[in-house]
Structure 1
Amino acid sequence: MYIVTGGAGFIGANIVKGLNARGERDILVVDDLSSGDKFRNLMDCEISDYVDKDLFLQWLEKGKLPNAAAVFHEGACSDTMEPDGRYMMNNNYEYSKTLLAWCQAQRVPLLYASSASVYGAGRIFEERREHEAPLNVYGYSKFQFDQFVRRVLPVATAPIVGFRYFNVYGPREQHKGRMASVAFHFFNQMREHGRVRLFQGSDGYADGEQRRDFVYIDDVVKVNFHFLERPDLSGIFNLGTGQAQSFNEVAVAVVNAVDALRNPSSGSRELQALQQEKIIEYIPMPVALHGKYQSFTQASISALRAAGYQDSFHPVQEGVMQYVRWMDAQAQ
C-alpha cells in the first residue's frame, strides 16, 4: 500500500494519478474534505481507501496504520497568508513530526512536501541553512520541519526525502482559490474578461517582470517517482526547473494558448502588442503582500542532478499550453 496525505489536493491527487499509471491501486488517501469540491480531483483515480486527516493522526498515535511501501506527505495548510501561527505549526510541523516518527519506526520511506518559501526574499536558492529566511509563518513551518529532518537524517532507519517545491502549476489545482497558480487565474480571467491582470512592478522589477521558477506538475510527479525508485537516496532537494521566468511570460503564454484554442491559425502575439491592446494590464500589489512577496525565485538544481535526475523540465511556454488545453476541456 501507498499512503498519500493531501491526496485529494493538487500535488497529492496528481501523485495518486501517477501511481495509477504505474499500475498501483492499493492507495490510502488522507485529506480533509471540509472543502468538499476537492473530491473531484480523485474522480478519475483508483484508490483502496480514504481517511480523514484527524482520524489518520489518531491511527498514527496509536500505531494502527497498515503496512506501507512508502508515504507521500503532501498534506499541509499551504495558504501563505494564513495568520494563525499556532494552527500552522500544529498542522504543518507537529503533524509531520508524528508521521516521520511512525515512518522511521516502521522503516517506511517518507517523501514530503517542503517549499521554496523557506528562502524568503533571498537571491540564492541552495539547500543550505545560510540561505533560509522565510517571510511568513507558512514558510517558517516548512523550514522548521526541514531543520528537524536534518537532525534525524544522520540516524535515519528509512529514506527521508524533502522537496522544496517552487511555483508548481497544472491540472487539479482549481480548489485552491487565491493560492492557485497565476496560470490558472490568467486562464479564467481570459475566459471571463478577455484580459489578464498582473501586479505592478516591485523590488526594482518593472510591471509584471517579477520572476519565479514555474514548474509543471508532471515534472513534480516524475521527480517524486525518481526518488521512490531509489531507496538509497535521502535529503532535502529543490524541485524547480532551475530557470526563472517572468509573470509577463506566463501571461503571454496563456493568452496565446487561449487564442490558439479559439482560432488554431492565429499567430502568437508578443508582450508589447498585448499591452497596447490592454489584454495585459497591471494593478497595484495588495498591501497585505508588502514585505512578504518573493519577487524572484530560481531553484539551484545541482543537488537534484547529483541525485541522478537528468530529465528536462517543461518551460512555461510548453507547460502552459498543456495546462490551458486541460482547463479548456474541463470547462466544456
Structure 2
Amino acid sequence: MIVVTGGAGFIGSNLIESLNQDGIFDVMVVDRLGENFRNLCDLTFADFMPPDDFIRAIEVNRGALPEKIDAIFHQGACADTTCDDGAYMMENNFTFSKAVLHFALSRKIPFVYASSAAVYGASNNFAPSRENERPLNLYALSKLAFDNHVRAIIDTIQTTVVGLRYFNVYGPREAHKHKMASMPYQLYRQLKQTGRARLFKGADGYRDGDQRRDFVFVGDVVRVNRALASGPPLRGIFNVGTGKARAFNDVANLLIRQIGAGAIDYVPFPESLAGRYQSFTEADLTGLRNAGYDAAFTNLEDGIASSVAAWNRED
C-alpha cells in the first residue's frame, strides 16, 4: 500500500491520479474532506482515514494500518500563508509531520514530504542552506521547523527521507484552494469571470506586473515525488521548480492567449502584504540534479496550455 496524506488536496490528488494511471490502486488517502472531495471522485483508492484517526493508528493502534506500506507521500498541511494561529499551524505542519516521519522510520518506509520555497522568504538566494532561509510568515516557519528536525537526525537515517521545497505549483485540481490557489489559477478565474487579470503595480523595484516567480507544473512535482521515493535510499532537502523565474505578465498574457480574450489591470500593492511577499523566486536545482533527477521540467507555455484545458473541463 501507498499512503498519501493530503490525498484529496491539490498535489496529493494529482499524485494519486498518476498512481492510478500506472495501475496502482492500493492507496490510503489521509485527509479532512470538504470541498476537496471532488478531487477524489474520479480516483480509485483502497482506504481512507481522517488525520486524527491516522495519528491514533500510528501512536496507539498500529494494527489498524497495513503491515506492508511501500511509501508515504506526506503532502498534507495547513497551507494558509495568512494564518496567524501559531499553535494550529505548528500542530498541523510540525507535530503531525514529526509523528508520521518517525512512524516511517520505525517501519523503514520511504518518506517523501512537502516542504516549501516559502522558507526562503526575504532571501534572494534559493539554494537549500541555512543562511538563505528567512521566513516571512508562520506557514514558512512551520515548514522550516520540520526541515530542521529532519536535518537534526538525518545522519542517523538509513532509509529514504526526502523534503521537497515546492516553488509556485499550478495545474489541475486546485479549485478548492480559493485564495491559496496558484496565481495562474487565480488569474484564469479572473479572466473567465470578468475578462480582466489583476496584477500588482510596481513594487520592490519591479515594474508593473513584472514580479517574478518560478512557476512549476503539478505534473512535474508528481514525477519528482515518485522518482525519489522509488529509487535507492536517499536523504536530503531539495528544491522543486523549473529553475527559471517568469513574470506575472507572462502568465497573464499566456492565459489571455489560451482563453482567446482579456486584458490586464494593474492594482496597488496591498499594505497587508508589505514585508510578507516574495517578489522573486527561482529554484536552485543543483541538489536535485546531483541526487540523480535529470528529467526536464515543463515550460510555462506548455504548462499553462495543459492547465487551461483541465480547468475548462473542471468548470
Equivalent AA in structure 1 for residue 268 of structure 2? P
The alignment covers a number of residue pairs equal to 312
In structure 1, how many angstroms separate the alpha carbons of the residues matched to 2:232 and 2:7? 22
Equivalent AA in structure 1 for residue 271 of structure 2? V
After superposing on structure 2, the runs of 4+ consecutive aligned residues of structure 1 that deviate more than 4 Å are none
* 1:183 CA displacement: 1.1
* 1:287 CA displacement: 2.0
Partner SS for 1:228:
helix
Verify: 1:13 aligned to 2:13, yes or no: yes
Equivalent AA in structure 1 for residue 10 of structure 2? F
Partner SS for 1:163:
strand
Contact 2:213 2:246 in 1 (8 A): yes
Equivalent AA in structure 1 for residue 221 of structure 2? V
The correspondence of residues 85-104 of structure 1 with structure 2, limited to 5 A, is 85-104=86-105
Equivalent AA in structure 2 for residue 71 of structure 1? I
- What TM-score do you get using the length of structure 1 for normalisation? 0.92
Verify: 1:313 aligned to 2:297, yes or no: yes
* 1:285 CA displacement: 2.2
Residues 167-190 of structure 1, C-alpha deviations (whole Å, 9 max, x = no match): 000000000010101111111111
Runs of 5+ consecutive residues of structure 1 not aligned to the other structure: 263-273
Residues 265-304 of structure 1, C-alpha deviations (whole Å, 9 max, x = no match): xxxxxxxxx7xxxx10111222221100000000000111
Counterpart in the other structure of 2:183: 182
Say which is worse superposed, 38-47 or 222-231, in terms of deviation: 222-231
Partner SS for 1:162:
strand
* 1:196 CA displacement: 0.7
Equivalent AA in structure 2 for residue 202 of structure 1? A
The correspondence of residues 25-174 of structure 1 with structure 2, limited to 5 A, is 25-33=25-33, 36-64=34-62, 65-66=65-66, 67-174=68-175
Q: Name the % identity.
A: 47
Partner SS for 2:219:
helix
* 1:63 CA displacement: 4.6
In structure 2, how many angstroms separate the alpha carbons of the residues matched to 1:88 and 1:288? 20
Residues 295-326 of structure 1, C-alpha deviations (whole Å, 9 max, x = no match): 00000001111111111111211100110111
Counterpart in the other structure of 2:243: 242
Corresponding residue to 1:287 among 255, 266, 271: 271
Equivalent AA in structure 2 for residue 52 of structure 1? P
Contact 2:111 2:229 in 1 (8 A): no
- What TM-score do you get using the length of structure 2 for normalisation? 0.97
Equivalent AA in structure 1 for residue 259 of structure 2? V
Equivalent AA in structure 2 for residue 54 of structure 1? D
Partner SS for 2:237:
strand
Pairwise CA RMSD: 1.1
In structure 1, how many angstroms separate the alpha carbons of the residues matched to 2:61 and 2:227? 29
In structure 1, how many angstroms separate the alpha carbons of the residues matched to 2:104 and 2:314? 37
Residues 62-93 of structure 1, C-alpha deviations (whole Å, 9 max, x = no match): 15132310100000000100010111011100
Contact 1:216 1:319 in 2 (8 A): yes
Verify: 1:4 aligned to 2:4, yes or no: yes
Equivalent AA in structure 1 for residue 297 of structure 2? F
Residues 206-245 of structure 1, C-alpha deviations (whole Å, 9 max, x = no match): 1111100000001001111110221322210000000000
Verify: 1:300 aligned to 2:284, yes or no: yes
Partner SS for 1:124:
coil
Equivalent AA in structure 2 for residue 281 of structure 1? D
* 1:162 CA displacement: 0.4
Equivalent AA in structure 1 for residue 41 of structure 2? M
Runs of 5+ consecutive residues of structure 2 not aligned to the other structure: none
Partner SS for 2:221:
helix
Residues 14-52 of structure 1, C-alpha deviations (whole Å, 9 max, x = no match): 11111111211000000011xx22111011111001111
The correspondence of residues 209-220 of structure 1 with structure 2, limited to 5 A, is 209-220=210-221
